[in-house]
Amino acid sequence: MKLPVYMDNHATTPVDPRVLEAMLPYFTEVYGNAASRNHRLGWEAEAAVETARKQVAKLINASPQEIVFTSGATESDNLAIKGAAWAHRGRGNHIVTLPTEHKAVLDAAKRLEQEGFSVTCARVGADGLVDPDDVKRALTDGTMLVSVMAANNEIGVLQPIAEIGKLCRERGILFHTDAAQAAGKAPVDVERMGVDLLSISAHKIYGPKGVGALYVRGKNPAVEIAPLIDGGGHECGLRSGTLNVPGIVGLGKACELCRLEMPEESRRLGGWRDRLRDGIFSRLDDVRVNGSMEHRLPHNLNVSFGGIDGESLLVGMNDVAVSLGSACMSATREPSYVLKALGVSDDRAQSSVRFGLGRFNTEEEVDYVIGRVVETANVLRDISVKAEGKCKG
């Protein structure tokens, strides 16, 4: 077993060797610009991009023409939210989202507030789930966009996307979902879910960093968004800039592998996740799962350890790579805003650790992590009890 054991697959995933193999020729052999349509190298690059477009579309039951390549889910979220708001300002200026969304959504919405838009965050329950009726109550006559993530990046809960999509469709409101954590890990179907805009990132599904996609509904009804980047009219004018052909090829291959292997992979990782949870809970007291276990990604476990500082736990088991929460917020010591939205206390939030199992983990690694968590937690609690005794003495 190789150390450290990596269980931070929500932050990023290693590139699957099969994905890397598919990408390599487009660095040194087929290195043409996909927009260069005057010679074979350009045609071959363009063909590779179109193959990837089909692979991405097939994963989410979309048409290839509805896929726009971006630099990742953060750009896709910004393009969806700002692009929809700018293009549809005439039909309303109100946006509904959740307080537990990724910062790419929340900060994009805040930027639009500075431009005169109004933003409402529908509440989530203690299990992290939003009730579609609460989304409905947040809607106004001026609501033009709802953005609810399919799967939360910290607690892994799966939101009722299909119900919210139906609600938005009935009201003629655009519906965006950040599916960076869900796509490739749980079934995603833009038609069944009634989604108009959907964000994907390659590096969450064993593809390369720096590439992603945005699904933009092309019919029933066709969705119009305004571009963030101008200069060349690439991607049907929605995302100008030379296409990252190797990265796009990698994204496409990663989507294809997820589509083919997701059922078995989900079963395996769900079983190991439950083994991890049961192993920790059977040997430690005062531990609690954050978020719904019933509606949850199969590879996610977010646990609060009573009486223990989460950062101390991570330092104590430095041969295990896990995190306190979202990678984009790891530089701050503030309690997780996601957990606080669930009503978790500051102390509990500070004691929470996110485990993200992945394709390349093994059962041996799961058992090793259980042992290291229990060992380190007991050491930290013993130190705390001794320190408390000295203070009283």
Tokens of 126: 């203690």
State the catalytic residue, choosing from 121, 255, 328, 391.
328
Kindly give the pairing relationship between strand 320-321 and strand 300-305.
unpaired
Which residues, 6+ apart, have CB-to-CB distance to 118 below 8 Å? 93, 94, 95, 142
Beta-ladder partners of 119: 95
Angstrom distances, CA of residue 268 to CA of 264, 275, 299, 338, 393? 6, 11, 9, 27, 51
| Closest C-alpha among 77, 109, 74, 111 to residue 95 | 109
> Which contacts qualify for 109-113: CB closer than 8 Å, 24 or more apart?
109/81, 109/147, 111/82, 112/81, 112/82, 112/85
In the three-class reduction of DSSP (H, G, I as helix; E, B as strand; rest coil), residue 174 is classed as strand
Gap between the Cα atoms of 80 and 224, Å rounded: 10
DSSP line for 347-380: HHHHTEEEEE--TT--HHHHHHHHHHHHHHHHHH
328 as an active site residue: the answer is: yes
Residues known to be catalytic: 328
